Amino acid sequence: MTAPTIPLSRRARRVRLSPIAAAGQRAATLISQGRNVLTLTSGEPEFDTPPAIQQAAIAAMARGETRYTPTPGTQALRRAVGERFAADHAIGIAPAEVFIGSGGKQVIFNAFAATLDAGDEVIVPAPYWASFPDIVRINDGNPVIVPCDQQSGFKLSASALEAAITPRTRWVILNSPSNPSGAVYAEDELLALADVLRRHPHVLVLLDEIYDQIRLVPPGRHWLALAPDLRGRSLILNGASKTYAMTGWRIGWGIAPPELVQAMTAIQSQVSSGANSIGQAAVAAALLANDRTLADFIEHARSAYARRAALTVAAINRIPGLSLLPPDGAFFAYIHCGGLIGQLRPDGQVLSTDSDVVDWLLDSAGVAVVEGAAYGLSPYFRLSFAAADNVLEAALQRIAQAVTTLRSAPVEVRP
């Protein structure tokens, strides 16, 4: 008997499984079959959550903080986010301007659900975090992809932003430091983008700063300090996952105008209500801690990522056919693989796309990375250097060795 077909909505048919998750699943399948695979697909620190934060969670449970939380987040965490932001940037933030979600992705989803109608456009510079376009689509919007290649530093220019804006534009997304490229916008670049946005008051700004504590270059002034007049249409996204190695705790936040926070709260009230109480208590403690060990942890992690970035840049730029622009933040390398396109694998198959390159690296070298097509810009692949040093070093050696096995396709000579 044939099982009935489930009629899927147009919304469901517009989206796909995250390519990053798909890459990780394929690697996990091979590992379960006994293959030796080094997985560099995930943007997840290899460090454990610091003990001080773990102890704050235990203390919260002991106090009985195990019940439902307010939908936009506990007052303690909303205040802590504002106080941390003020300490870092000398800009005051009221609790009413803070929304807490179960991870940063939920904050983005709620913001777009609250503001997009069918046909509204969101400008998405490529390379982009792979979920941005699909979160736009699932909320009935149209992602407008603007390519920003290696020559542009993988950053959106003022002229490209101006050209992309239409009367239907609702948002522009800026991600700094960037996943997947590690690009960081300089002050003059942000000022130029702000000048464009002043001419288009209908456009909102999503500034994704989830990697703001993983900068490999000195930080400049914050967007809200450079363009305070745009505060009323800016959403600042951040979270605990990357800074404090708390990916599994699922706590993210947005700083936004109160009316947007209220709309996001109404949507959240019909989805999963407030984020988990224990995670919120732990993150509030982390943000307000004067514990030197937490500051040391952040600096230790930043130093490790800087060391791994330098290792990756040096190793990749020695490999024929590959090139890498040094990242200025985050823990990703967005590697140009155009020099491998058209070459032949040992089995005679042609590498025609960056997806072919990624499949070949997994099959032949046991190294799992993610194709550039997942991030909207080819031919590249993304490698995460959040992995432990020995894993990263072994993976880079495998990639270098695998490239030596390629050969050029024969040139067709016509009479």
Q: How far is residue 199 CA from its own chain's centroid?
A: 28
Q: Please, what's the b/e burial string for 150-182 (b: 16 or more CB within 10 A of its CB; e: otherwise)?
A: beebbbbbbebbeebbeeebbbbbbbbbbbbbb
User: What is the crossing angle of helices 51-62 and 292-316, to 10°?
Assistant: 140
Q: For residue range 381-402, what is the model confidence (pLDDT) as tens digits? A: 999 999 999 999 999 999 999 9
Q: pTM score, two decimals?
A: 0.94
Q: What is the pLDDT of residue 32?
A: 86
Write out pLDDT tens, residues 35-73: 899 999 988 999 999 999 999 999 999 999 999 999 999
* Tokens, residue 18: 């995250």
- Distance, CA of 158 to chain centre: 22
Q: Which residue has the tokens 């003990």?
A: 51
Domains recognised in the chain with CATH numbers:
10-47+294-404 (3.90.1150.10), 51-290 (3.40.640.10)
SS3 assignment, position 7: coil
Phi/psi class of residue 338: alpha, beta or left (left: φ > 0; alpha: ψ in -120 to 50)?
alpha
Concatenated DSSP letters for 55-110? Answer: HHHHHHHHTT--S---TT--HHHHHHHHHHHHHHHS----GGGEEEESSHHHHHHH
Write the pLDDT tens digit of every residue in 329-379.
999 999 999 999 999 999 999 999 999 999 999 999 999 999 999 999 999
* Mean pLDDT taken over the chain: 95
Q: What is the mean pLDDT of residues 207-218?
A: 96
